[in-house]
Structure 1
Amino acid sequence: MEVTLDEMVSNGFQVAGTYDPDFSELVDVFRENFICRHEVGASVCVIMHGRPVVDLWGGVADLTTKRPWKRDTLSTVLSCTKGATALCAHILAEEGRLNLYEDVARLWPDFAQAGKAGTTAAMMLGHTSPVPHLREPIRPNGMLDWEYMVERVSTEPAWWKPGTRQGYHGLTFAWTVGNVVRLAAGMPLGAY
């Protein structure tokens, strides 16, 4: 059974869409983002076993014109693969195939070079791994070459002692956590 939602929330924004009643808690949280967290426009779609179980949108897409956020409103999405990659690491940990707290050198010996020994997957997930960036420029199209990037990350000298500092791994997360997932799963990250 699918429920249709079309209502105004307390701040005057419209929230609309459809959802499976089993996901009503998610609907409440989505609504709460507008009421309590001052969200101005957003959408969420959850697909389970090939069918949408939640498809919601609400608020405005443009504060100046008050153009409403609609089902097909486009938005910029940044770092969206970090969550999916982290989820893969946590699933492997839950399955007992990845220990988040042991040195990743057990899976990936080359990573331990240049002051990075003792780095754990938990540090990579928490952005305290000592490789937040790469010092030297990446060759043209280098980020499209998995082996090249994994080698660059593994040979990069540590920026700090593992786990002692935090720095957003905007560039390197895909190849640190991603390679640990690849090695623990025994298949490429995308396939896992």
Structure 2
Amino acid sequence: MVERMVPSGATHLVVDLVTQVTTFECSLWAFHSFHGIRLNGTAARHNVTTKGIRAPRKLAVTKTSTNSLSLEWELNPDALNFSVSVKKVPKSGDVLSVEQHENHCDRNATVCYNVTGLDPGARYEVTVRSCARYCGNPAVITAMTQVAGELNGLSGRNWKYLSFCARCVEILYRGKRHFYFIYDLPILNIS
């Protein structure tokens, strides 16, 4: 419970919250001190719901390489800065890397961001938050960096097939039937 004393004549109060999007009961009452005794008036109660900063929309991985991931998301016009945290999964014990950034993009734009210095062939969980005076709700995406070089133990064969049609010509020569096949093949370069 948070209790704040508001100076006489004040019309608003700002309270820091632990949870961004929440509903809580707000009670407001007047009081008077009389010879060291506090006399409270009747409390006016009402519920307050906070909105917080929404999670980034349309978070996507647009490109991967052996040591980087390129991300893109829709800029929140109410929170122009952002926070990106990257966690390697599924190994436990990896250090969580958090980066805070100020973004000076135009409003209603798309944010493009590269996460670099990653390990090849590893899966990462990337969390992005839009930030104003505080950072908002997270958007999370999982992506994998590309594998460097060839895969060990991978083998295969390439098979090439040649097919054609033959025409048959029947010739009657000296009372006997003779069959000749005529092959009409184009010149092929097969390697």
More helix by share: 1
More strand by share: 2
TM-score between the two structures when normalised by the length of structure 2: 0.24
Higher Rg of the two aligned structures: 2
